[in-house]
Structure 1
Amino acid sequence: MKTAIIIGGTGLVGTQLVNLLLNDQDFDKIVVFGRKSLNITNQKLEEHLINFSTPENWEKLVKGDVLFSCMGTTLAKAGNKEKQYEIDFTYQYNFADIASRNGVSEYVLISSAGANIHSPFFYLRMKGKLDAAVKELPFKKVVIVRPTQLYGSRHERRISESIGLALSKALNKIGLFKKRRPIHVQRVAEAMIESLQYYDSSVTVSSYELFGLAKFYDRNKNVYYKKSYVSG
């Protein structure tokens, strides 16, 4: 039995991941670090409300087998690029660094399709920089998942995002941009968990591959399919 650590547990993918892990027989303890409470009562759940800027207050609590990092924000929510960088890069990297030094052996990170340290776009460049940085940490295995546009139940409505999602789905239906099709947040969360079983070493997983990876495990039958099943 394993202990999972999660940061970003109140986000779109994070909430799905927490629920899946609480019902996963391979994990007997789920430790969530965040600024806001999940407001969940479960005997497997241990929750720590922290300030990510003061690791000296919580770094000794970061102990477990695998770290799932779902943290992230938008420029609009952050207010400026400096604050977004602090949340999306600094907080995540520092937490991963502490986890690796505390003996956590596996790390699963949500990045973004198009992440590239040389990208002309701030967001993708920031994501690419984080991807490159965490690969250098002493984890035994680092899995970086790069989903395309995410969709699922949000608390707030984003008009431009809804329009883009509808357009992407329409194009996918006629066979265009299949490898760039939107992906549901639950499927991403499932794939993050299954990646630990499927991959034997560090890897970067495309959004297209996430579709197949999420099908690797039939939770109703409690059966793992052959690795060749993962096809997107």
Structure 2
Amino acid sequence: MKTAIVIGGTGLVGTQLINLLLNDQDFEKIAVFGRQSLNIKNQKLEEHIINFTTPENWRNLVKGDVLFSCMGTTLAKSGSKEEQYKIDFTYQYTFADIASRNKVSDYVLISSAGANIKSPFFYLRMKGELETEVKKLPFKKIVIVQPAQLYGNRHERRVGESITVALSKALNKIGLFRKRRPIHARRVAEAMIESLEYYDSSAVVSSYELFGLAKFYDRNKNVYYKKSYFRGLCSD
């Protein structure tokens, strides 16, 4: 039985991930760190309301078997590139660094398709920088998932996102951009959990591969699936 640590639990993927973890028999405790309460009552849930800028107040509480890092914001929501960088890079890296020092063995990070430290785009460059730096941390296993455009039930309505997702799905139906098709937040959460069993060592998982991993979730863990079968699942 394992203890999962989650940051970013109120976000689109984080919400789905916590719901899955609370119902997953492989995990006996879910320790969630965040700036606001989830307002969930469950005997497996342990909530820590923290200020990410004062790690000296909470670093000793970061203990468990796996850290799921789901934090992220938009430029519009954060108000500036500096604030977005603080949330998407600084807070996540600092927390991951502390977790690794506290002997948390596994780390699963949500990044982004196209993340590249040399990208001309701020967001993708920032994600690429985070990937580069966390790979240097002494976790036993690091899994970085790179979903394409996410969709799901958000608290706020994003009209532009709805239009883009609809357009992408239309293009996918005629065979275009299949490997970059939008992916539901629940599929990403399922794949994040399943990645801990599927990969024996560190891995970077493309959005295309996330579809296949998600289909493994809740299957018999003792069944061996060939890589060719896995690729077939990705295309469905």
By the TM > 0.5 criterion, same fold?
A: yes
Please identify, of 54-63 and 152-161, the stretch whose mean Cα deviation from structure 2 is larger. 152-161
Aligned to 1:226: 225
Aligned to 2:91: 91
Please identify, of 3-12 and 158-167, the stretch whose mean Cα deviation from structure 2 is larger. 158-167
Q: Distance in 1 between matches of 2:177 and 2:22?
A: 35
Instruction: Using the TM superposition, give the Cα deviation of residue 160 of structure 1 relative to its aligned residue in structure 2, in angstroms.
Output: 1.1
Q: Secondary structure at the match of 2:215?
A: coil
Contact 1:216 1:226 in 2 (8 A): no
Aligned to 1:53: 53
Contact 1:217 1:225 in 2 (8 A): no
Please identify, of 158-167 and 79-88, the stretch whose mean Cα deviation from structure 2 is larger. 158-167
Q: Which amino acid aligns with 1:75?
A: L
Q: Secondary structure at the match of 2:72?
A: coil
RMSD, matched Cα: 1.2
Give the fraction of aligned pairs with identical amino acids, expressed as a percent: 80
For structure 1, list consecutive stretches of 5 or more residues without a partner in the other structure: none
Answering whether residue 214 of structure 2 is matched by residue 214 of structure 1, we say: yes
Q: Distance in 2 between matches of 1:193 and 1:36?
A: 24
Contact 2:191 2:217 in 1 (8 A): no
Contact 1:198 1:227 in 2 (8 A): no
**How many residues end up aligned between the 2 structures?**
231
1:122-201 residue pairs with structure 2 within 5 A?
122-201=122-201
Q: Given the two structures, how large is their TM-score scaled by the length of structure 1?
A: 0.97
Contact 1:150 1:182 in 2 (8 A): yes
Aligned to 1:67: 67
Answering whether residue 116 of structure 2 is matched by residue 107 of structure 1, we say: no
Q: Which amino acid aligns with 1:110?
A: I
Q: Distance in 1 between matches of 2:37 and 2:113?
A: 29
Q: Distance in 2 between matches of 1:20 and 1:224?
A: 21
For structure 2, list consecutive stretches of 5 or more residues without a partner in the other structure: none
Q: Secondary structure at the match of 1:72?
A: coil
Q: Distance in 1 between matches of 2:2 and 2:81?
A: 37
Q: Which amino acid aligns with 1:175?
A: G
User: 1:180-222: per-residue Cα shift (whole Å, max 9, x none)?
Assistant: 1000000000000000000000110000000001011335x77
Q: Distance in 2 between matches of 1:225 and 1:213?
A: 13
Contact 1:217 1:223 in 2 (8 A): no
